[in-house]
A and B are shown apart, each in its own frame.
Chain A
Amino acid sequence: SQQGEEDPQALSIQEGENATMNCSYKTSINNLQWYRQNSGRGLVHLILIRSNEREKHSGRLRVTLDTSKKSSSLLITASRAADTASYFCATDARDDKIIFGKGTRLHILP
C-alpha cells in the first residue's frame, strides 16, 4: 500500500535554483523520512523528522512537517547537477514498516 503522495511527480530546474518537493500522507505517523535514489541505484537516507518537530535542516536540505495537514516538504537550496535523482518521502506504519510515497523525479539542468 502507498502512504505518501509526492508532488510534483517530476521537476526540472536550472542549476543553482531551489527545488521544493511536497509529500502528503494519510495516517498518523511517528516519523517521516526523505530518501534519494539515483537512477537504478539504492536508496540514500537524507533526513528524518519526528512528528513533534516542525522543521529540520541538514546542509542544503530543509524539511518541514505539518502534522495537522499531514504534509511535509523538502527544499534543496542552490541545486547542483549531482542532485538529479528521485526523491521519496517515507512514513512509518505498524509493525516497523516503512511505506514510501510515489516520488518526485528531479532533474537539474546545466
Chain B
Amino acid sequence: GAVVSQHPSWVICKSGTSVKIECRSLDFQATTMFWYRQFPKQSLMLMATSNEGSKATYEQGVEKDKFLINHASLTLSTLTVTSAHPEDSSFYICSAPFDGRPYEQYFGPGTRLTVT
C-alpha cells in the first residue's frame, strides 16, 4: 500500500523557537495533504489543508501565521510551528489521499512535539 512518512518522529524544542515537520508521500503523488493535531487522549483535529501550488486553507480557529504550511512539491508538505509555546506540544499527523480517491487517505506515523 501507499506510504506516507513524517520527519522527525519526535522533537523537543525550547519555547520561542520554530520547528519544521515534513510529510512525504513516498510512492504516489499528492496534490493535497492534510495536517491534524492530537492532544493526549483526544481525537485528531483537522488543522489545515495543504495544496500543491497554492496557499493552504486553515480550519476555523487555527492561526495561519503560527502554523506555516508549504506544499513544496507533489510529494512533500511541511508544517512549521513558529514561535512555539508549551501549549503547542502535541502529536501532529499528516495524511495524503490518492488523487481522485479522496476517501482513500494514507496517514503518516505522526510527529511528537514537546515545547519546553
Contacts and interface: CB of A to CB of B under 8 A. Distances in A.
B12 interface: no
Contacts of A101: 43
B110 A102 contact: no
Interface residues of B, number: 26
Q: Would you call the interface of chain B mostly helix, strand, loop, or mixed?
A: strand
A2 B43 contact: yes
Given A97-B34, A97-B49, A101-B43, A42 B93 contact: yes
Interface string B67-110: 00000000000000000000000010101010000111101111
Interface residues of A, number: 24
A43 B43 contact: no
Interface of A: 1-2, 30-31, 33, 35, 40-43, 45, 48, 88, 92, 95-103, 105
Contacts of B46: 1, 97-100
Interface of B: 32, 34, 36, 41-46, 49, 57, 59-60, 91, 93, 95, 97, 102-105, 107-110, 112
B92 to A, nearest CB: 11
Nearest to B57: A95
Nearest to A4: B43
A27 to B, nearest CB: 15
Contacts, number: 54
Contact of A98 (B34, B42, B57, B109): B34
Contacts of B41: 105
A62 B2 CA distance: 24
A102 B42 CA distance: 7
A78 B114 CA distance: 38
Contacts of A40: 91, 112
